[in-house]
């Protein structure tokens, strides 16, 4: 598959469809494709829309899982008061009901007063696989998107498992689309907090080259435990600068070469 931006969207209130996003910034066109690119490849139809006329959805709803990797950036481990670097990736799961799309409003969970944002590079798996060696990971990757691994810090502290803290409805916005051709090893990852009436604040600013475990190592490691299915998502960890999000604020997570993912939060 060549270098493409694959989006999932709705137009005119019809059913969701997949499309290829092309064109210069501000003038992008979405060319509708046949069915589901995870199973049917990318076959353009003759139908096009202006990007500004469609509503972007989460570029995929994973059929089975979102796998998260925790504590993968040294500066983030330090800010959390954490232990030294790990010998293997720390893995957790988010259910597919946690997935939300670009610009979706996110309702903060009633059980938490401390929800934090975490801007991350997300890997989108393209084919069924198991026990993938690191040097063959490229063959099983469909592409990359941006994620916000929202985390209820209070529940993370008190619960023995992270299921509730990281798995609540809306805790995994992804988007704006999937970039199919990207070298993931040295990309800038940023996060900007926006408060009405105040100047936007660049709170996170890191590079994937700082990651303790590379994308290839993470996918290989995850596939040693789980069969990965087309459309599964693997989050790669967040750089330093995490902080809490409040009612009325919005957060924009960005990854170089992919784009911006913005969500607004409410109680």
**Of 48-56, 105-113, 145-153, 252-260: span binding Mg ion (CB under 5 A):** 145-153
Strand partners, 173: 100
Closer to Mg ion at the Cβ: 142 or 162? 162
Query: If binding is defined by CB under 5 A, does position 149 make contact with Mg ion?
Result: yes
Closer to Mg ion at the Cβ: 118 or 232? 118
Phi–psi pair at 77, nearest 5 degrees: -60, -45
**Of 77-85, 100-108, 139-147, 234-242: span binding Mg ion (CB under 5 A):** 234-242
The minimum distance between CB 120 and Mg ion, in angstroms, equals: 6
The minimum distance between CB 10 and Mg ion, in angstroms, equals: 29
**Alpha carbon distance 114, 153 (integer Å):** 6
**Alpha carbon distance 86, 198 (integer Å):** 38
Q: Is 175 left (phi over 0), alpha (psi -120 to 50) or beta?
A: left
The residue with its CB nearest to Mg ion is 149
**Of 44-52, 56-64, 187-195, 235-243: span binding Mg ion (CB under 5 A):** 235-243
Closer to Mg ion at the Cβ: 149 or 192? 149
Q: Is 125 left (phi over 0), alpha (psi -120 to 50) or beta?
A: beta
Among 243, 244, 245, 263, CA closest to 253? 263
Query: If binding is defined by CB under 5 A, does position 98 make contact with Mg ion?
Result: no
Q: Estimate the share of the chain in helix, then strand, then coil, as percent rounded to the nearest 5.
A: 20, 40, 40
Q: Which of 7, 108, 112, 118 binds Mg ion (CB under 5 A)?
A: 118
The minimum distance between CB 215 and Mg ion, in angstroms, equals: 14
**Pairing label, strands 105-107, 259-266:** parallel
The minimum distance between CB 232 and Mg ion, in angstroms, equals: 16
Closer to Mg ion at the Cβ: 51 or 125? 125
> Tokens 């992008």 label which residue?
28
Closer to Mg ion at the Cβ: 204 or 250? 204
Name the burial class of residue 28, with classes exposed (0-12), middle (13-18) and buried (19+) by CB atoms within 10 angstroms of its CB. middle
Strand partners, 202: 192
Query: If binding is defined by CB under 5 A, does position 208 make contact with Mg ion?
Result: no
Closer to Mg ion at the Cβ: 118 or 179? 118
Query: If binding is defined by CB under 5 A, does position 238 make contact with Mg ion?
Result: yes
The minimum distance between CB 174 and Mg ion, in angstroms, equals: 13
Q: Which positions lie near Mg ion, rule CB under 5 A?
A: 118, 149, 238
């Amino acid at each position: 598959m060549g270098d493409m931006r694959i989006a999932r969207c709705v137009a005119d209130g019809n059913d969701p469809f997949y499309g290829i996003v092309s064109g210069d910034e501000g003038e992008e066109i979405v060319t509708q494709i046949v069915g589901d690119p995870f199973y049917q490849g990318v076959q353009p139809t003759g139908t096009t829309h202006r990007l500004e006329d469609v509503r972007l959805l989460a570029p995929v709803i994973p059929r089975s899982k979102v796998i998260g990797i925790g504590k993968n950036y040294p500066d983030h481990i330090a800010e959390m008061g954490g232990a030294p670097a790990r010998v293997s990736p720390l893995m957790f799961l988010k259910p597919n009901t946690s997935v939300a799309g670009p610009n979706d409003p996110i309702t903060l969970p009633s059980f938490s007063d401390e929800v934090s944002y975490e801007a991350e590079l997300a890997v989108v798996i393209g084919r069924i696989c198991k026990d993938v060696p690191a040097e063959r990971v490229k063959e099983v990757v469909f592409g990359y998107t941006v994620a916000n691994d929202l985390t209820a810090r209070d529940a993370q502290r008190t619960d023995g498992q992270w299921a509730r803290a990281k798995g609540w409805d809306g805790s995994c916005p992804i988007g704006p689309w999937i970039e199919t051709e990207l070298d993931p090893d040295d990309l800038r990852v940023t996060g900007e907090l926006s408060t009405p009436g105040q100047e936007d604040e660049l709170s996170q600013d890191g590079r994937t080259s700082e990651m303790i475990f590379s994308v290839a190592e993470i996918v290989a490691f995850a596939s040693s435990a789980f069969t990965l299915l087309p459309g599964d998502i693997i989050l790669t960890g967040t750089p330093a600068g995490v902080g809490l999000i409040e009612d009325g604020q919005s957060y924009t997570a960005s990854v170089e070469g992919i784009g911006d993912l913005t969500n607004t939060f409410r109680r």
